[in-house]
Amino acid sequence: MRAVSAIALPLRRLTPASARQSSRRCFSSSQSVHATWGFIGLGRMGYPMARNLRAKIPVDDTLIIQDVNLEATKKFLQESPEGVIVADNVREVAEKSEAVITVLPEPHHVQGVYKAMLQPPSLLKEGSGKERIFIDCSTIDPTTSREVANAAHSSGQGKFVDAPMSGGVVGAQAGTLTFMIGAAPELVERATEILSMMGRRVLHLGEQGAGLHGKLANNYLLALNNIATAEAMNMGIQWGLDPKALAHMINISTGKCWPSEVNNPVPGVIEGSPASRGYEGGFGVALANKDLKLALRAAKDAGVKLSLGEHAKQLYDEVEADPNCKGKDFSVVYRYLGGKE
Ligand code: NAD
């Protein structure tokens, strides 16, 4: 694994001054010296990411945005009118941009958007200059991602990088996300330069698909740790232990993990945690379950044996369907188990 720090990299900085001097960055058929950046998917993550991107790219560059939700593009244009264009469709985004970032919910959205961008396979004729790079930050399965990458590469219309992220909405707003990327070595510097405008760390895990494999392995572990923490806390409290004392002991012992230390599922143990505010905000149980299912599918495709994943999925399905838990932070598993609140 190669960790690339946004600060330590000796990269060409995309300052307004360097942009004005550089003619290498042109892409549109008009041979303008200013670059156009594309962003598709202005949801909870994409919207603040695109805001950060717009703030960091040279002032004379253009950001072209697209979302099926017209309210999102309208709001974006109202909040950042300078140097922003709303495209009629995703094909237009691909035609005009030298770098396209996609942040979409599920595999079928990614498939559909890339199909629409890459068909007909004539993007190269419409653009010129620097090779187009597609960066998909969505959390999807590696198989779909590989298919999309192959479609881009085999048609010669651009290079594709998978760059799932962690850090949540708060990290997207603050520009402190961590990206895990899967990319050919020659793309890493350029992808890092772009992603560093929206995050703090870019970790290159290997060839295309590796970013998603890393992300899904991490989120599999997170999903299990979350259940185990809720069970262990519930067990200890039912035996009569004080919740804070129990959490403190675990967090200086071998059971320590992110759910026990940062996102403890018992209300009142950690001030400001989702559990302490009625399980609102945080990492939604539906998203946690989605990532778990993607990990299970990818493991099955690779013939990897998992012993706990199916049980965990069943539990999250039940939690998601429970009216007292639906839509809440995934630590609400503790409530589902009947934990004392
Ligand atoms: P979201 O549902 O809030 O946003 C997705 C956006 O994509 C929406 O605005 C939607 O209108 C748009 N969209 C859907 N289909 C489209 C299409 N065909 N063309 C253009 N736009 C389209 O989702 P989100 O929370 O922003 O998550 C996006 C991705 O990031 C997901 O894959 C998610 O798993 C991943 N992720 C989310 C978080 C989080 O905390 N929310 C954290 C890490 C990773």
pLDDT digit string (tens) for 114-136?
Answer: 999 999 988 876 555 578 999 99
Please report, rounded to a whole number, the percentage of residues in the chain having pLDDT higher than 90. Answer: 84
d(CA 273, CA 226): 14
Tokens encoding 315: 């539990």
pLDDT at 96: 94
As to burial, measured by CB atoms within 10 angstroms (0-12 exposed, 13-18 middle, 19+ buried), residue 185 is exposed
Q: Check whether 88 has a pLDDT greater than 90.
A: yes
Ligand 1 atom with least separation from CA of 106: 32
**pLDDT classification of 219: cutoffs 50, 70, 90:** very high
Q: Check whether 8 has a pLDDT greater than 70.
A: no
8-state DSSP, 332: G
Q: What mean pLDDT is predicted for residues 102-116?
A: 97
Among the ranges given (21-30, 146-155, 178-187, 316-325), the one the predictor scored with the smallest mean pLDDT: 21-30
Residue 45 Cα, ligand 1 centroid: separation in angstroms?
7
pLDDT at 105: 94
Q: Which residues line ligand 1 (CB under 6 A)?
A: 40-46, 66-69, 72, 90, 103-105, 109, 112-113, 138-139, 165-166, 168-169, 283, 287
d(CA 90, CA 102): 10
8-state DSSP, 136: E
Residue 233 Cα, ligand 1 centroid: separation in angstroms?
33
Kindly report the number of other CB atoms within 10 A of residue 122's CB atom.
Answer: 12
d(CA 123, CA 83): 23
| Domains in the chain with CATH codes | 6-207 (3.40.50.720), 214-336 (1.10.1040.10)
Average pLDDT, the chain: 90
Q: Check whether 247 has a pLDDT greater than 90.
A: yes
Q: Check whether 17 has a pLDDT greater than 50.
A: no
pLDDT at 125: 62
Q: What mean pLDDT is predicted for residues 28-45?
A: 80
**pLDDT classification of 34: cutoffs 50, 70, 90:** confident
Q: Of 90, 101, 35, 44, which is closest to residue 67 (Cα–Cα)?
A: 90
Tokens encoding 146: 């590989």
- Output the pTM of the full model: 0.89
Q: Check whether 109 has a pLDDT greater than 70.
A: yes
Cα distance between the two ends of the chain:
41
Q: What mean pLDDT is predicted for residues 248-257?
A: 98
CA separation, residue 30 to residues 24, 126, 145 (Å): 14, 10, 32
- Is the Cβ–Cβ distance between 85 and 28 less than 8 Å? no
Q: What letter represents residue 250's amino acid?
A: I
Ligand 1 atom with least separation from CA of 72: 9
**H or E segment at 313?**
helix 309-321
Three-state DSSP at 38 gives strand
Q: Of 160, 106, 107, which is closest to residue 135 (Cα–Cα)?
A: 160
Q: Of 58, 151, 67, 138, which is closest to residue 98 (Cα–Cα)?
A: 58
Q: Check whether 6 has a pLDDT greater than 90.
A: no
Q: Which of 56, 96, 159, 215 is catalytic?
A: 215
Residue 215 is a catalytic residue = yes
Three-state DSSP at 200 gives strand
ω into residue 120 within 30 of 0, thus cis? yes
Kindly report the number of other CB atoms within 10 A of residue 164's CB atom.
Answer: 25
Q: Of 220, 174, 227, 251, which is closest to residue 337 (Cα–Cα)?
A: 227
pLDDT at 14: 43
Q: What mean pLDDT is predicted for residues 245-271?
A: 97
- Is the Cβ–Cβ distance between 68 and 40 less than 8 Å? no
Among the ranges given (23-37, 50-64, 261-275, 301-315), the one the predictor scored with the smallest mean pLDDT: 23-37
**pLDDT classification of 51: cutoffs 50, 70, 90:** very high
- Is the Cβ–Cβ distance between 6 and 201 less than 8 Å? yes
Ligand 1 atom with least separation from CA of 116: 18
Q: Check whether 173 has a pLDDT greater than 70.
A: yes
